[in-house]
């Protein structure tokens, strides 16, 4: 099992970040996700599996202030290369949402 992770901050409330990231992960992209732990269930994380890939992804959004959120994107799976590529891709797509 291999894991890749990265963190960054967003200038957005954590509930907004969770809502938009959850929707992003479910979108019909190359590897949409089956979500096990939704972003709107009252906790601080989203957990899902990228379809057609043996990868588990966890996105954690922790409030730092009213409009500041620490985000961690963690992808794990048997192929470290695929885990790294998916982590990088999802992290960039979250940044591209322009929640800041």
Q: How far from 83 is each of 42, 56, 63, CA to CA, in Å?
A: 27, 9, 26
Percent of the chain at pLDDT above 70?
98
For the chain, what percentages of helix, strand and coil (3-state, to nearest 5) are there? 30, 40, 30
Query: What pLDDT, on a 0 to 100 scale, did the predictor assign at position 51?
Result: 80
CATH class of the domain whose range is 2-96: alpha beta
Domain ranges of the chain: 2-96
The more confident residue out of 50 and 96 is 96
- Find the mean pLDDT for residues 72-92: 94
Q: What is the pLDDT of residues 33-69, one digit of tens each?
A: 999 999 989 899 999 998 878 899 999 999 999 999 9
């Amino acid at each position: 099992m291999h894991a890749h992770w990265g963190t960054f901050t967003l200038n957005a409330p954590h509930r907004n970040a969770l809502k938009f990231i959850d929707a992003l992960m479910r979108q019909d992209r190359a590897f949409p996700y089956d979500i096990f732990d939704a972003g709107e269930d009252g906790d601080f994380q989203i957990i899902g599996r990228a379809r057609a890939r043996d990868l588990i992804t966890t996105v954690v959004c922790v409030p730092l202030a009213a409009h500041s959120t620490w985000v961690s994107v963690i992808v794990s799976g048997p192929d470290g290369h695929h885990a790294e590529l998916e982590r990088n891709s999802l992290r960039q797509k979250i940044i591209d949402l322009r929640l800041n």
